[in-house]
Structure 1
Amino acid sequence: MKFQHFRNATLVIEAGDKVILVDPMLGDKGTQPTFTLFRFKAQKNPIVPLPENCFPVLERVTHCLITHQHPDHIDKAAEEWLIRKNIPVICSEKDEKHFRKKGLAVSQVIKYWETADFLGGSIMGIPATHGYGFVAKPMGNVMGYFIELPDQPSIYISADTVYTPDVDKALREFQPDITVAACGTAQLDLFKPLLMTPDEIVKFIQNSPKKVICNHMEAVNHCPTTRAKLKARLEKEGLLDKVYIPEDGDTFEVTF
């Protein structure tokens, strides 16, 4: 299974002849408003450009998987691109109506904890909780995915979530070969973090059976955890060899 990390949570998964684009944020640098005004430096988002080497793989995309509606996971540029290319979109049952109204070609709707056929294999929706305490409710519905494809490693995309019993269950019961974790510890100007804290990232990696891909860092202005900070913490914990922390545009392959 081959991966290319674009930026933030946007990545491409290549499995045989299937090329799956996940959570596309394809707009130019600075095309969205700042997500914080005073907790972190106000900057228009994304705060980095899309790497040039990501554009060729977009021409080979066969499907798009979306975890939730937030603009750092599907922006206007991505919506326009998906509609123009008529790319089949897979999403949560909670987001179907929204994406169809936008004009996206929703081809499959996934339910929480239900297994569905997917590209010759299977997919299951895993609940994700986008924040600690009160803030999770206004952040809306998010869905992680557990995917098993023929002759490929299994993968759990945990999406924008804190560490919950649902996340723990997915790690322990399904034993995914690859997990993807949003590690930027995003925060708004008020309230608790929207993503796992560094301590919970460590816990997530410890409880992941095999390899972990760490993303959602250094692309939007409300994420204080950087790659360097994460690497230093994981080196201290003896977990650095267990993770991939890709730079924007990096490609890498995972085989077992």
Structure 2
Amino acid sequence: MKLTQIRNATNRLDYAGKVFLIDPWLAPKHQLSFVDIPGMPFHVPDQMKEHLPMPFYDLPMNTEQILSGVDYYIVTHLHPDHIDMAPDGTVGAPLDKAFPVICQSEEDASVLRSSGFSEVIVLPTSGMEFGAARLTRVPALHGTVVPCGDAMGIVFEAPEENTFYLAGDTVWYSGVAETLRNYQPEVIALNCCAAETVENGRLIMNDEDVQCVAMTAPNARLYLTHLDNVAHAALTRHTLRGCLARRGVVNYDMPSDGASVEYKAATVGA
């Protein structure tokens, strides 16, 4: 399997002969700030950050390169830092609507269909086959105070591949621990910029949460993503490295935008 960090939580996953584009937020640099979101549903503890335009950086390659060869889109949830959103509520404008898109719920599927996607697949908790790969929806907790809507994680399994856990937008909690125990993944992708809103608390993992995952799955390799592009983040790649060093966490990869990491089966814990 191979993971390519595009930007923020957007990643390309090559797995069991299929290519999945995860959380395809392809907006140009500095497209919008929190104050530009209609209705302004989110508030950031540092109000100055509400005016910072996001994403902070350009895509590392053009959209055509990102979309080339993709078999499936995966949208873990409908937030504006995970898929492009228009003022009219439609989503995914840069994407080819003829390609199948995998989502978490019928509610999200309805929005995707109304946005023009012709093949929308709601991933069940019982799992579903995609070629040689089996994908299973697992729970996520998107907020330490009040969840900021629903989100999902996904476990990928295939013969001759590492079991891969895409945790999605979640904090460390019992559901993540249970997924680790049940599936014993060899590779784990964590969204971990410690983003926070006033209403919901911390939305995704911080360095302590990453340490909890590392301690619970000591033989796994962590892939750290969702970094350096949103205004409500409390951690950057630079600060997260320092925090993890102080915690003694070393079993991770934190690729820069545009970089790829390949994980060969049965070797990641070596």
TM-score, reference length from structure 1: 0.90
Asked whether 1:111 is paired with 2:120, we answer no
Of 215, 222, 232, 1:222 maps to: 232
Q: Does 1:235 align with 2:245?
A: yes
Choose from 108, 118, 123 the match for 2:135.
123
Supply the distance in 1 between the matched residues of 2:255 and 2:214 (Cα, whole angstroms): 16
From 39, 54, 59, give the equivalent of 1:45. Answer: 54
Alignment pair present for 1:2 and 2:2: yes
Q: Aligned with 2:119: secondary structure? A: strand
> In 2, Cα distance between the equivalents of 1:160 and 1:131?
9
- The number of residue pairs the alignment matches comes to 250
Q: Match of 1:140, as an amino acid? A: G
Could you tell me which runs of 5 or more consecutive residues in structure 1 were left unpaired when the two chains were aligned: none
Closer/same/farther in 2, CA of residues 31 and 57 from structure 1, 3 Å limit: closer
Checking the alignment, whether the CA contact within 8 Å between 1:121 and 1:149 is kept in structure 2 is yes
Secondary structure at the aligned position of 1:56 is classed as: helix
Match of 1:152 among 154, 161, 167: 161
Supply the distance in 1 between the matched residues of 2:17 and 2:155 (Cα, whole angstroms). Answer: 19
The 5-angstrom pairing of residues 161-240 of structure 1 reads 161-208=170-217, 209-240=219-250
Q: Which moved more, 1:164-173 or 1:229-238?
A: 229-238
Structure 2 residue 112 is matched with structure 1 residue 99: yes
> Structure 1 CA distance, aligned partners of 2:73 and 2:189?
16
- 1:37 to partner: Cα distance: 5.8
Q: Percent identity?
A: 30
What amino acid sits opposite 2:23 in the alignment?
Answer: D
**Match in the other structure for 1:249:** 258
Structure 2 Cα separation of the partners of residues 186 and 220 of structure 1: 8
Does the 8 Å CA contact 1:88/1:105 hold for their aligned counterparts? yes
| Distance in structure 2 (CA, Å) of the matches to 1:126 and 1:145 | 6
Distance in 1 of aligned mates of 2:207 and 2:17: 36
Alpha-carbon distance between aligned partners in 2 of 1:129 and 1:6, rounded to the nearest angstrom: 24
CA deviation profile, 1:40-64 (whole Å, cap 9, x unmatched): 5331111111112675242111111
Rounded to whole Å, the distance in 1 between the matches of 2:118 and 2:175 is 29
Q: Residue type matched to 1:70 in 2? A: H
Please name the residue that 2:21 is paired with.
21
Q: Does the CA contact (< 8 Å) of 2:190 and 2:224 recur in 1?
A: yes
**Two-structure CA RMSD over aligned residues (Å):** 2.0
Cα distance change of structure 1 residues 121 and 37 upon mapping to structure 2, 3 Å threshold: closer
CA distance in structure 2 between the partners assigned to 1:120 and 1:251 by the alignment: 22
CA distances 1:115-169 after superposition (whole Å, capped 9, x unpaired) = 22222231111111110123x1xx2111110011232111110100111211101
Deviation at 1:3, TM superposition (A): 1.4
Cα distance, 1:38–1:147 mapped onto 2, change above 3 Å: closer
